[in-house]
């Protein structure tokens, strides 16, 4: 075995099934690890005090991982464990991550880069005493793994980062990865959704105020910048920030200091800024809705998150993670349910996937999720619409003949029928069940106009604006529509 430098951190290698391969040995040495194979738990515990990490192969379940963790704990050690699982064992990989593994690698992965990344996940000199928790995140798809590797590099540099991606794609999760992989991990992580707060409150929340600054200011109040001192401030939906606040934010970012509302003293700042948006900020700049100088200040490093449908390798692990977060007992996804999850277009991204799995938890009683337990928002809406005989064009003339979301849904429904034997709602012989009173007819037409508008707009916010109602009212009416669709589907 090639000798390792004395300063290299030690990795204990335990694999009861297979001996250490030359490829793995070479990869660990090349990535800066000293390697010691062990063959029993007693041998592992006797050398664990000198080790920075334990590399453990899992074959059936996480029992072996929990046994090693228990032995290390009884020995008074907090040595982290890296789990190796077969590439096809996605459920086991998620369970290992949930059980506290520092990282989960494919058992066949002998790339030096994979083992090099472990250095950024732990400080070898403090591995036995650090109490910093490791965040469980899912980056299984190759595109997601590339993004994670990039995020870990960006985290180590003191630069601002702009995260761009559709709603529900996991921008805040990535922001927390940037925080927890940086030197500011022990500092606070403070988040603000710029679109969720009234315009007249955002300034006070960001910059704080001194006592007497305005009526009702009975005491000094620190803003979010001050609360995030030594850590990270995450500004979500920054594209929705009012223009007059953008100029003040730019000044604070440039000078690294602020003055509270009504205050006189200057407060020095030590805060890292991570911003996120689902808007095209270049287009917003052209339309004079966003400051160009602020854009270049926050976009020192721009990172793009793909929609969930474009990273299919993450879908099943994320689904299993959602199940395990609710109940630690082993869950199974039926192969047909997995096929259905992979074929669905996921317009709501990870957030919609979480909702679908929560519904499955409610419906499933035996911890085996089948297609019957999966309820998709757009599928239910399409099913409800199919029961109403009025045409789309009659309800709303501006609806195009074909939209991207409609095309995706047609492909999904066709695949579902071909692969799983699912059927579309039977709309024949429904005329006799149509409502005859005026109130019910108005309600059905209102629901149809809402669905047509949703199909022709890129977001629910835009749909609410076109309908002339608030987003909250739209959500309420959509909830009514889903309940109505479920009831009608159940009656068929």
Q: How confident is the model at residue 484 (pLDDT cuts 50, 70, 90)?
A: low
Q: Could you give the CA distance from residue 103 to residue 115 in angstroms, rounded to a whole number?
A: 10
Q: What is the mean pLDDT of the chain?
A: 78
Beta strands in 94-167 (DSSP E): 103-106, 161-164
More confident residue, 262 or 250: 250
| Residue 440 pLDDT > 50 | yes
Decide if pLDDT at 374 tops 80: yes
Whole-angstrom distance, CA of residue 375 vs CA of residue 485: 12
342-357 pLDDT, tens per residue? 999 999 999 999 999 9
Residue 479's pLDDT band, with cuts at 50, 70 and 90, is: confident
Q: How confident is the model at residue 380 (pLDDT cuts 50, 70, 90)?
A: low
φ, ψ of residue 447 to 5 degrees: the values are -65, -40
Confidence of residue 134 (pLDDT cuts 50, 70, 90): very low
pLDDT of 342 reads 93
Average pLDDT over residues 29-43: 85
CA atoms of 101 and 99, how far apart (whole Å):
6
Please spell the DSSP secondary structure of 198-252, one letter per residue. Answer: -HHHHHHHHH-B-TTSSTT--S-B--HHHHTTTSEEEEETGGGS-HHHHHHHHHH
| CA–CA dist 17, 58 (Å, integer) | 9
Residue written as token pair 């966003």: 290
SS3 100: coil
- Condensed to tens digits (0 to 9), the pLDDT of residues 314-328 reads 999 999 888 888 776
Question: Is the Cα torsion angle 265, 271, 276, 280 positive or negative in sign?
Answer: positive
Could you tell me the CA-to-CA distances from 43 to 203, 394, 491 in Å, in that order?
Answer: 59, 76, 64
Concatenating the DSSP letter of every residue in 159-190 gives --EEEE--TTS-HHHHHHHHHHTSTTTTS-EE
If one counts every other C-beta atom within 10 angstroms of the C-beta of residue 466, the result is: 14
- The answer for residues whose C-beta is within 8 angstroms of residue 273's C-beta and 6 or more apart is 160, 161, 232, 233, 235, 253, 298
More confident residue, 95 or 82: 82
Task: Please write the tens of the pLDDT for every residue from 256-298.
Answer: 999 888 888 889 999 999 999 999 999 999 999 999 999 999 9
**pLDDT value of residue 441:** 57
Task: Decide: 202 and 245 in contact? Cβ < 8 Å.
Answer: yes
Return the percentage of the chain with pLDDT > 90, whole number. 26
């Amino acid at each position: 075995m090639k000798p390792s430098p004395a300063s290299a951190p030690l990795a204990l290698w335990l694999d009861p099934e297979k001996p250490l391969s030359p490829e793995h040995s070479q990869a660990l040495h090349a990535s800066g690890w000293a390697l010691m194979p062990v063959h029993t738990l007693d041998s592992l515990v006797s050398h664990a005090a000198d080790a920075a990490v334990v590399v453990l192969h899992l074959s059936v379940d996480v029992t072996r991982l929990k046994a090693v963790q228990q032995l290390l704990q009884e020995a008074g050690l907090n040595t982290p464990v890296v789990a190796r699982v077969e590439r096809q064992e996605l459920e086991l990989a998620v369970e290992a991550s949930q059980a506290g593994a520092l990282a989960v690698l494919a058992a066949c992965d002998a790339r030096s880069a994979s083992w090099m990344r472990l250095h950024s996940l732990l400080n070898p000199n403090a591995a036995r005493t650090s109490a910093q928790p490791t965040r469980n995140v899912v980056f299984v798809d190759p595109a997601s793994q590339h993004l994670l590797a990039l995020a870990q590099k960006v985290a180590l540099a003191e630069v601002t980062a702009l995260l761009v991606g559709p709603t529900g794609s996991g921008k805040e999760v990535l922001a927390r990865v940037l925080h927890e992989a940086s030197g500011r991990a022990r500092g606070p992580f403070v988040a603000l959704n710029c679109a969720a707060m009234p315009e007249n409150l955002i300034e006070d929340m960001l910059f704080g105020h001194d006592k007497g600054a305005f009526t009702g200011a009975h005491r000094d109040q620190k803003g979010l910048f001050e609360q995030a001192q030594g850590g990270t401030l995450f500004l979500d939906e920054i594209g929705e920030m009012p223009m007059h606040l953008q100029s003040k934010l730019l000044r604070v970012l440039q000078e690294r200091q602020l003055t509270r509302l009504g205050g006189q003293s200057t407060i020095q700042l030590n805060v890292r800024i991570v911003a996120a948006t689902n808007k095209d900020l270049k287009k917003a700049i052209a339309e004079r809705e966003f400051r160009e100088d602020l854009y270049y200040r926050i976009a020192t490093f721009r990172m793009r998150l793909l929609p969930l449908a474009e990273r299919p390798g993450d879908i099943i692990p994320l689904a299993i993670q959602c199940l395990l977060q609710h109940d630690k007992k082993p869950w199974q996804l039926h192969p047909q349910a997995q096929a259905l999850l992979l074929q669905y277009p996921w317009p709501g991204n990870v957030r919609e996937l979480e909702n679908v799995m929560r519904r499955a938890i409610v419906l499933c009683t035996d911890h085996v999720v089948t297609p019957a337990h999966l309820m998709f928002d757009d599928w239910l809406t399409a099913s409800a619409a199919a029961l109403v005989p009025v045409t789309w064009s009659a309800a709303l003339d501006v609806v195009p003949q074909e939209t991207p979301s409609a095309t995706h849904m047609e492909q999904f429904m066709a695949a579902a029928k071909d692969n799983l034997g699912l059927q579309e709602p039977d709309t024949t012989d429904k005329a006799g069940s149509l409502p005859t009173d005026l109130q019910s007819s108005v309600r059905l037409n209102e629901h149809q106009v809402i669905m047509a508008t949703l199909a022709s707009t890129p977001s629910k916010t835009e749909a609410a604006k076109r309908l002339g109602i608030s987003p909250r009212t739209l959500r309420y009416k959509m909830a009514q529509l889903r309940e109505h669709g479920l009831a009608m589907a159940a009656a068929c």
